[in-house]
Amino acid sequence: MATEKLHIVVGEWYWGATCPECGEMAAHSKGDSEKPGEAQVTMTCANGHRFSARTENLLRFEWGAQ
């Protein structure tokens, strides 16, 4: 499955989770739409760690505001 690279903009809202390796926030998709439909999603944090999270655990957060 190809992973679309998300263009991150500070101050915009995303669905994502905290990287279990480094604690940085990682965005999965834009937060101005519905939560992703998949049961589990994969994302890559700013430090390049790939990890997956259950969609029910995704947080909607404002990038740069953490």
Our finding on whether 47 is near Zn ion (CB under 5 A) is yes
3-state secondary structure of 57: helix
Q: What is the length of the chain?
A: 66
- The least CB distance from residue 7 to Zn ion, in Å, is 19
Question: Which range in 3-11, 13-21, 33-41, 57-65 contacts Zn ion by CB under 5 A?
Answer: 13-21
Position 59 contacts Zn ion (CB under 5 A): no
Which residues of 1-66 form beta strands (DSSP E)?
A: 13-18, 25-30, 40-44, 50-54, 59-62
Residues that bind Zn ion (CB under 5 A): 19, 21-22, 45, 47, 49
